[in-house]
Structure 1
Amino acid sequence: MEFQAVILISVATLGFISLCSSIINLVKWVYIMFLRPPKNLKRSYGSWAVITGSTDGIGKAIAMELASEGLNLVLVGRDSLKLESTSSEIRYRIGDRVSIRTIVIDFAKVGGEEIEKRIGEEIEGLDVGVLINNAGLAYPFARFFHEVDLNLMESVVGVNIVGATWVTKAVLAGMLKKKKGAIVNIGSGSSGAAVSSYPLYTIYAATKA
């Protein structure tokens, strides 16, 4: 009887500890998601942010948000007209509170070392504290792996992996030197986070994992 009581108390104790742990994790999540005051990115990391794929969608929205927080921007894209349009739109909304630079480069058409060289030259002397690797290239339409031609395959890999890798290499040195910085790599739900299998976009899903 005493042995059964010990087992019962032990199981109840473990259950109570597990419940407390779950409650603590829930409270932490609620605090982080809804109650924690926003971090001052400029003070915490640096006064400049580099954003690839910055002229449309997620990248453009992030650029707007970072500018509203007072960060100066280095906008990276392959279309000079879109870069100029995005820069003008940010200046119209934010005013002259931030500085904006643009870099025209197509990750699908240049090698990794050239990417690092170009980005490194453009950000030299800037206090870059935030890097958003957002640039991405997908198929123009769905197709199976064996149907993807070599040029498209190389372009997808070049933009989604090579570009992100070498831009990071160009920016990381400065962050390591000052011992602070934030790097965000934008992925995709197709990589398995939201969709368990994405057979018609295999290469894209793999490069955005």
Structure 2
Amino acid sequence: MELYDCFASTLEQPAWILALSALGLLSLLKASIAALRWIFVSFIRPGKNLKRYGSWAIVTGATDGIGRTLAFQLAHRGLGIVLVGRSPDKLFDVSAAIREKHPNAQVETVLIDFASDLVEGVARLKKAIEGMDVGILVNNAGMSYPYAKYFHEVDEDLIKDLIKVNVEGLTRVTHAVLPGMVERKRGAILNIGSGASTVIPSDPLYAVYAASKAYVDQFSKCLYVEYQDKGIDVQCQVPLYVATKMASIKRSSFLVPSANTYAQSALQWIGYEPTCTPYWPHSLIWTLISMLPVAVVDKWRLGFCLRIRKRGMLKELEKKKQFECRSAASEDSCSCLTAFSSDVHDL
């Protein structure tokens, strides 16, 4: 009887209170499901057997950072590796290092300078992989600004190279490798994007870089839908800061993982969602940022990037003055170095 009275009194409440209560319960249920799913995909869900996609993996930008580490870890999992990079010496060194660590690994190299000989380089890649059972393509090659800059300060050569490397290069390599995957009815494409285009609302002073990575994300989503029923998994990973040369970060930390730590997470996610942030602390940051007002995040990010711009300009001016000193070969001409920072007090 008491239960009936309680239920009856609940029904007597105004409709708006009942509606708010229902919305609250639904929101709580949705948040609980999202939290449980996050725990599952971050810590419990097993990674896929990558060899089922094929016996070879292609890694672009394989001589440094995330690309280099992914190449080593893919070789550790028993795949043959096609290293793609622009430096013959670095390609040789990475190839030798992989063979030393994994004596049974098959390693091939293809020279491509994405900024200068892209068309010819992709032709070399197509020839090199003829007859290969290429199962995985990692589009990791990319470039960013030397430091934060207003758009009007970015020179035309940098704009051209950013688009050529980050957009055209990734597109052409994918177009060269994909037909073989379609023929074999299996494959996985991993495109390395950036939190600059997805996690944060905007990335001021890195406009062209962020926009080029937004292309990578949308391109990946479209291919994910196009080729899902052909046995090909396409994914864009959007990490935040990783301790790499391109990010100009030397020391890793809990929130800024090393390339090796990030790569371990990255391989666990291949073949699942079309867009993801594999390193779990990064996904927590993404959640927190999404809860803040866009204007607040934009203001914080602009201030952060302005500080990067100032440090970059100071370093650039210092290098310029050191060069002038060496050219003059005079001790007196170097006295300006003690006060060089005053030249950029208004940055």
Q: CA distance change for structure 1 residues 21 and 79 in 2, over 3 Å: closer, same or farther?
A: same
AA matched with 1:34: F
| Alignment CA distance shift 1:13-1:143 (3 Å) | closer
Q: Secondary structure at the match of 2:137?
A: strand
What runs of 5+ residues in structure 1 fail to find an aligned partner?
none
Tell whether the 8 Å contact from 2:138 to 2:191 is kept in structure 1 after alignment. Answer: yes
State the 1:138 CA deviation: 2.3
Q: Which has the higher contact order (CA 8 A, sep 6+)?
A: 1
Q: Which residue of 2 aligns with 1:164?
A: 170
CA deviation string 1:138-163 (max 9, x = no partner)? 23344322222222221221111111
1:109 aligns with 2:116: yes
What per-residue deviation string (whole Å, max 9, x for no partner) do you get for residues 149-208 of structure 1?
A: 222221221111111000000111112222222111112233352473321x32222212
TM-score between the two structures when normalised by the length of structure 1: 0.86
Q: Which residue is 1:202 aligned to? A: 207
Residue 151 of structure 2 aligns with an amino acid whose one-letter code is F
Letter in 2 for 1:4: Q
CA distance in structure 2 between the partners assigned to 1:46 and 1:140 by the alignment: 37
Q: Please tell me whether the aligned partners of residues 115 and 163 of structure 1 are also in contact (alpha carbons under 8 angstroms).
A: no
Tell whether the 8 Å contact from 2:122 to 2:172 is kept in structure 1 after alignment.
Answer: yes
Distance 2:194 2:185 in 1: 29
Shift in alpha-carbon separation, 1:16–1:86, aligned structure 2, 3 A: same
> Counterpart in 2 of 1:48?
56
Q: Does 1:128 align with 2:121?
A: no
2:91 corresponds in structure 1 to 83
C-alpha separation in 2, matches of 1:66 and 1:136: 20
Give, in angstroms, the shift of residue 25 of structure 1: 2.5
| Contact map agreement 2:141 2:166 (CA 8 A) in 1 | yes
* Identical residues among aligned pairs (%): 47
CA RMSD of aligned residues (A): 2.3
Distance in 2 (CA, whole Å) between partners of 1:110 and 1:117 is 10
The aligned residue for residue 45 of structure 2 is: 36
1:10, distance to aligned residue in structure 2 (A):
5.8
Q: Which amino acid aligns with 1:207?
A: S
Provide the rounded CA distance (Å) in 2 between the counterparts of 1:149 and 1:183.
Answer: 32
Runs of 4+ in 1 over 6 A off after TM superposition: none
Partner of 2:73: 65
Alignment of 1:153 onto 2:159: yes
Partner AA of 1:16 in structure 2: L
SS of residue matched to 2:158: helix
Tell me the amino acid that sits aligned with residue 150 of structure 1. Answer: E
> When the two structures are aligned, how many residues end up with a matched partner?
205
Distance 1:19 1:154, change over 3 A: same
Corresponding residue SS for 2:143: coil
2:82–2:110 CA contact under 8 A, matched in 1: yes
**Unpaired stretches in structure 2, ≥5 consecutive residues:** 1-8, 215-347
| Correspondence 1:92 to 2:100 | yes
CA distance 1:139–1:10, shift in 2 (3 Å): closer
Give 1:175's aligned amino acid: M
Give distance in 2, aligned partners of 1:13 and 1:156: 50
Residue from 119, 122, 127 that aligns with 2:125: 119
Change beyond 3 A, Cα 1:36–1:148: same
TM-score normalised to structure 2 length: 0.54
SS of corresponding position for 1:208: helix
Aligned equivalents of 2:33, 2:158: Cα separation in 1: 48
Is the CA contact 1:52–1:75 (under 8 Å) kept in the aligned structure 2? yes
> Matched residues in 2 for 1:197 and 1:140: separation?
15
